Structure 1
């Protein structure tokens, strides 16, 4: 019997974990596993705030695909469409024409993208917080603004540079805000020109609470702690405009800010619109508890699987029959293992098993030695919660190599001060060279060539 062709679309939490497990579960005579992703690495997103703050090296928050997936075929490109009726995916390589990739089983796991709103100026002024590139950019931008504020004599420029706005009070927004404020607080020792009370961090959240993942009591505790640190929290408030950096809020306040970070939710990857797979009105792929894709009548779409942020997976631990698993790393990692085991079972002629996992709780880091957690109904705050946050995510990041590197980063941080230098040239590396390079008119170069 020919080996089954398994195509994994996306190398995020679901894609990487599923590929690793499948490559161990199935031998080369049983299956050929191909992974397609535009990035050469998997990003462990819970470590983005710590990477932005300089607690760990950005390289250690990502897992190189070709290094870890030695038994898989890795394609660096983007899946632009899926024709499951033909069992073919269209892959656009980094360079060159698109190609068709045939499969017997497909794992649709492109993940999610930032859910944006039609807010004037948002596209031009804001930055997201879902990729390692965005985390590095945010770190460099914040530190660069400190240099601007410390150098300028113009008060308006200074106020604008020292205003940092984060939109969205969920995990991504609160952790990013807290880590960046903690980093800036530590960096100010090198900026005697900047008094602490001139630095302005603002959290804008449309709901009336933050961190709903840890429950209302711990969310309230987090709000109090952040406020005590001088962070301006605007609950029940929306960003209405940020054209040219002029932030206008629904509560009537308006001020200028150079740094605007958008973390107000996610939505399933838009690539799913270019597939013939059944989806919910929200755009997520409809699944059975076995993580097999199903149509509107509940019939299994043979050979199609999905999990993670882009999938609507029933939560069998909930009393609500319509409940779905939340789009969290906790579910994604466990779904990936169950999905890989189920594909291996089907390849070997056995029946798949339902995914069932009761959400044990959530932990959030709020800067060095600060955190909030709610695990198995137990509320933890401060240093113990911070330790739980680090311990949990160290256990979940893939591969021993990355665990050791992250642990070394944290250990060095105990005895060495955090680096607070901006590497702004990373974003425009050719700018200095272009300024000194001699421009040559096009007609001169053609004449010399002749």
Structure 2
């Protein structure tokens, strides 16, 4: 019999873990797996703040798909539409041309994007921290502000360039603020004699009252104290009301003059989830506990774009969109998919959260493994050990450990690569949020590809 065609959308934790499981456990000739992704690398998102701060290089957090997946076909491009009735999906190549891929089973793991609120000026002047390009661009931009501030005499403009505002005090926002605050103050102190390090100001804005509520009340308070010691101003109960080239206005009415507004106020599921035609909850595709898409027969979903029931909590609780759940869901989906092909019973996904780790730069870290609160050096050991073990290849682990060691011994060169001088920086540009097709456009694209075939 011909192998079953399985198409996996996305190269994040869930998609790659599903493909790896299928490679290891399927019989030769049983399945033909194709993974569709914009490039041939899998990004380890939790370490992006350290790329932005220069502690890690880009290659340390990117794993080659071809090194990890030996029997899976890699199709460069983006799935921009799906027709479940025809079991076909539309893929847009990097060149802009579109073609169709047939499937017997479709695995949706497109991940998430930055949740952009309807804030005037945010799309034009805000910065994200969701992709590798955004992390590299943000580092360049921040260092560029110091370069420019050191060469101007206008006191008001200098203060604007040395003031940085982060909106969102979740995991990504807090970590990025902490490590970039450390970077900018060290750079001002060591390499810019005309700048007073005290003029470098960071503000962390959050709509709630706590930093990283997932940590628990005690560790969240510890995080707040650490940020205060670094002279980072924590502003609770506020968000951005308007962003301009030279300021941000908060919902409280306060205006902060700045040239840098980092937006990390949550994530949203990939827009592809809404284009499938399945039932969604806040943009996430609703799945059964066995990870099949509710109401469809040959479509599966997991990861950030899927609303997976959390059986450990009961009721209407859904699994949090975390890397921990995504990787385990990917493996479980692969197991259930093979069970389906072999006529066996599928099992529900169930996993109790193991806790989280937060690296605030230097020896400052917080961790909550298995509900046990840690801070300082023990937390940093747990955090970095977890990240190293979570990386998928020995090469990636070695690069990451080497970069950490080299940075600890040699420090930072505060080198700016020049990205900010030439390319657009909007969140939408980096994350390609407006590329998905409507149902009518999917039908038209499939018709065009059929004619070309």
Query: Normalising to structure 2: TM-score of the pair?
Result: 0.90
Change (3 A) 1:156 1:361: same
Which residue is equivalent to 2:44?
Answer: 44
Which residue is equivalent to 1:92?
Answer: 92
User: What is the distance in 2 between the residues matched to 1:16 and 1:268?
Assistant: 18
- Runs (4+) of structure 1 moved beyond 4 Å? none
Residue 215 of structure 2 corresponds to residue 220 of structure 1: no
What whole-Å deviation, never above 9, does each CA across 1:377-419 have from its counterpart, x for those lacking one? 2111112112211111111111222111111111222322223
Higher relative contact order (CA 8 A, sep 6+): 2
RMSD across aligned C-alpha pairs, in angstroms?
1.6
Contact 2:246 2:259 in 1 (8 A): yes
Contact 1:292 1:305 in 2 (8 A): yes
Bigger shift: 346-355 or 223-232?
Answer: 346-355
User: What is the distance in 2 between the residues matched to 1:374 and 1:21?
Assistant: 29
Report deviation, 1:215: 1.0
Residue 417 of structure 2 corresponds to residue 423 of structure 1: yes
Paired residue for 1:339, among 324, 327, 333? 333
What whole-Å deviation, never above 9, does each CA across 1:111-145 have from its counterpart, x for those lacking one? 11111111111111111110000000111111111
What whole-Å deviation, never above 9, does each CA across 1:139-165 have from its counterpart, x for those lacking one? 111111111111111112211110111
Which residue is equivalent to 1:439?
Answer: none
Which residue is equivalent to 1:196?
Answer: 197
Report deviation, 1:96: 5.1
Which residue is equivalent to 2:250?
Answer: 249
User: What is the distance in 2 between the residues matched to 1:294 and 1:419?
Assistant: 52
Which residue is equivalent to 2:267?
Answer: 266
Contact 1:85 1:276 in 2 (8 A): no
Paired residue for 2:388, among 394, 415, 422? 394
Bigger shift: 305-314 or 37-46?
Answer: 37-46
Residue 380 of structure 2 corresponds to residue 379 of structure 1: no
1:101-250 to 2 correspondence within 5 Å? 101-188=101-188, 189-250=190-251
Which residue is equivalent to 1:19?
Answer: 19
Contact 2:120 2:241 in 1 (8 A): yes
Alignment partner of 1:160: what SS?
A: helix
Greater Rg over alpha carbons, structure: 1
Change (3 A) 1:350 1:239: same
Query: Normalising to structure 1: TM-score of the pair?
Result: 0.91
User: What is the distance in 2 between the residues matched to 1:403 and 1:332?
Assistant: 20
Which residue is equivalent to 1:311?
Answer: 306
Contact 1:84 1:277 in 2 (8 A): no
Alignment partner of 2:106: what SS?
A: strand
What whole-Å deviation, never above 9, does each CA across 1:274-316 have from its counterpart, x for those lacking one? 2133322x12111122111113xxxxx3221111110011111
Contact 2:140 2:419 in 1 (8 A): no
User: What is the distance in 2 between the residues matched to 1:170 and 1:426?
Assistant: 26
Contact 1:81 1:272 in 2 (8 A): no
Q: Which segments of 5 or more consecutive residues in structure 2 lack a partner in the other structure?
A: 424-453
Q: Which segments of 5 or more consecutive residues in structure 1 lack a partner in the other structure?
A: 296-300, 430-450
Alignment partner of 2:129: what SS?
A: coil
User: What is the distance in 2 between the residues matched to 1:70 and 1:289?
Assistant: 30
Paired residue for 1:325, among 290, 304, 319? 319
Report deviation, 1:193: 1.6
